[in-house]
Chain A
Amino acid sequence: MPGEAPDLFAGDAPPAAEPAGEPTALVVPRDFLELAELAIRHSDAERFALLYSLLWDGRRDPGLLRNPAEARMVRLHAMARAVRRDAHKMHAFVRFREIDTPDGERSVAWFEPEHHIVEAEAGFFQRRFAALRWSILTPRRCAHWDGEAVTFTASARRADAPAADAAEDLWRTYFASIFNPARLKPDAMRAEMPKKYWKNLPEARIIPALMQGAEARMRAMLGQEPRAPARRQKAGRDPAA
């Protein structure tokens, strides 16, 4: 959309100045801006060079930045996809542990993102957990919410986060019970919950035991003789709570 102000690539982008000196407005598609904003969080050190080369060539060939099949655009899309996936996994796999502090209860999590996403994704946790006081510690950046504003501090270590939480035992009980041993599909599980995340997921430590026990549980169910039906429960009888 040439000529529209919101499409101007301005401000915080790497400078794509004319070598001759006279600055000219650089017009890029809105979708490209969104894509660049994601890709720039990627941990690949070449992301800036890639964006620069696309912007440079995009001046002479405006269609380039809209073409999803061009080789560099494919790479940019892949970077954006990786960042989006990392963000989604952060929303999913952050696990808070509650601790008492002099200022009251605080929820603290340790998470290891692959890309530079902590600042961009803090808003998700702020919107969801505005009523709590929380900190998300990572090896890249840390985010803290005190009920008023999100603040960021430098990287932390795993040992800075609490080591356990009282609810985790119940959570593991749930994880074990909702699993259906007759449908064992560990590859599908690992595709969506790669092993690199397991060390920070309290439920992951029981996965090996669940997998080992599954086959025997399945065999027992397939081999069982039907027992005589129980006497029918009467309407009105509640089981003991």
Chain B
Amino acid sequence: MELRAKLALLADAAKYDASCASSGSEKRDSTQGGLGSTEGMGICHAYAPDGRCISLLKLLLTNACIFDCAYCINRATSNIRRARFTVDEVVRLTLAFYRRNYIEGLFLSSGIIRSADYTMEQLIRVARTLREQHGFLGYIHLKTIPDAAPELLAEAGRWADRLSINVELPQVASLRELAPEKDLPGIHDAMGELSTHIAEAREARQTARRAAPPRFAPAGQSTQMIIGADNSTDGQILGTSDGLYKQFKLRRVYYSAYSPIPEASAALPPQPPPLLREHRLYQADWLLRFYDFTTEEILSGGEDGMLDLEADPKLAWALKHRDDFPLDLNKAPREALLRVPGLGARNVNRILEARRHSRVKLADLARLRVPLRKVAPFLVAPDHRPPPGQIDATGLRQKLLNPSAFAAAQPAQLSLAL
């Protein structure tokens, strides 16, 4: 098969992995030799019409696979055409794209062929060739095969900026049903191992005096869960995320709405992807990591373990905790302001800074591009006092819901959009 046909097939097969992040690695550049740089901030070099960032060349080494996961286009019993890149082909594509400034680096994954160890070795060979033979300093994300030997995981971390193992489904029961070859305890063991290596390398870097200590995945590890392929509730999904963040210090959990695929399995008939649910989960994940919410608090905004689809999770929470509001914009502590619907972390910091100089008014918030209509019922300011009883009015929820807000908001911008 010619290179272009393989590229089409093996990029298409890789697109169900949501991660395309290229941020948060160590700083390095090519002024002392080599090709490429990472300066901490990720760069999206293009956007596809699905609105998603294209930062990395995201490929499968092969779409052949001995696993038979029902949700996956590459499962063993799928009627798709199979192809496999050579190590050299992936290396050449990566360098050609990188030199022209199309990409930040490579995200390489693979179907499982022959054995976990064999597959992991092939992925490692690509990364090692890029680093050692071509002095490549761009970003590399390697998918990690959980059952691969510990020394292979250790080597993967030497070449990669980020490693990831997808849990795919939050419950053991769903995995058993839809991805029978996947082994959750084995995945957790591998994540634990990576997490130990990552922590050790970070500590070594901080205490190193002269020679640079061996690196290990400086951008950490991440994972992905598919949303809507099984009957898991949002509560089960967020609970799993929370556990993974705490236990393995993951940088990110990605949520990927189960998307219709050609050649779908009879066990999972195609349906439109639950994009709004995916969006709410990303918002909830943000509250978990940056706004000091617990999963229980987030879920208290919804019903029966599911998030409110109409309202973003912070607004949904606030509407069920109206006794906490309205807050005095000039007196409320940081942690209370972070819970005001419509106030993002960056604007809370700006408000705290502005408070040191003068009393902050609602008009000042307008200049900081805070959505006034959304925050007004929850705040008291020198130029604003919500009408008596407004916070308890039954019509408040309806008044605040803005159905067009979703189209404009994107998960990547949530730190501001919340």
Which residues of A does B touch, CB under 8 Å?
A: 63, 66-69, 71, 74, 88, 91-98, 107, 109, 124, 126-132, 165, 167, 169-171, 173-189, 191-193, 201, 203, 207, 210-211, 214, 218, 220-222, 224, 226-227, 229-241
Contacts and interface: CB of A to CB of B under 8 A. Distances in A.
Nearest to B82: A239
B100 to A, nearest CB: 5
A226 B96 contact: no
B180 to A, nearest CB: 12
A233 B64 contact: yes
B66 to A, nearest CB: 5
Contacts of B65: 233
Nearest to A204: B46
A127 B368 contact: no
Contacts of A182: 259-260, 272-273
Contacts of A183: 50-52, 257, 259, 273, 275
Interface residues of B, number: 89
Given A74-B368, A178-B15, A182-B260, A192 B44 contact: yes
Given A69-B354, A183-B52, 9 more contacts: A69-B367, A178-B14, A182-B273, A185-B407, A189-B50, A222-B271, A227-B263, A229-B79, A241-B84
Interface in B1-58: 1, 3-4, 7-9, 11-12, 14-16, 29-31, 33-37, 39, 41, 43-54, 57-58
B76 A233 contact: yes
Given A130-B29, A230-B79, A167 B114 contact: no
Nearest to A219: B260
Contact of B50 (A180, A203, A237): A180
Which of B52, B265, B272, B350 lies at the interface centre, i.e. has the most chain A CB atoms within 10 A of its CB? B52
B94 to A, nearest CB: 11
A232 B66 CA distance: 8
Interface string B63-91: 11110100000001111001111100000
A167 B93 CA distance: 9
Contacts of A171: 97, 100, 102
B100 A97 contact: yes
B100 A67 contact: no
Nearest to B360: A69
A237 B66 CA distance: 9
Nearest to A223: B270
8 contacts: A97-B100, A170-B96, A192-B47, A224-B263, A230-B77, A238-B114, A239-B63, A239-B82
Given A67-B357, A192-B44, A221 B84 contact: no
B354 A68 contact: yes
A11 B37 CA distance: 32
A214 B100 contact: no
Contacts of B353: 66-68
B30 A95 contact: no
Contact of B260 (A74, A91, A177, A222): A222
B45 A174 contact: no
A222 B268 CA distance: 11
Contact of A187 (B62, B101, B261, B407): B407
A241 B1 CA distance: 7
Contact of B49 (A91, A98, A179): A179
B99 interface: yes
B44 A170 contact: no
Nearest to A237: B64
B30 A131 contact: yes
A227 B50 CA distance: 27
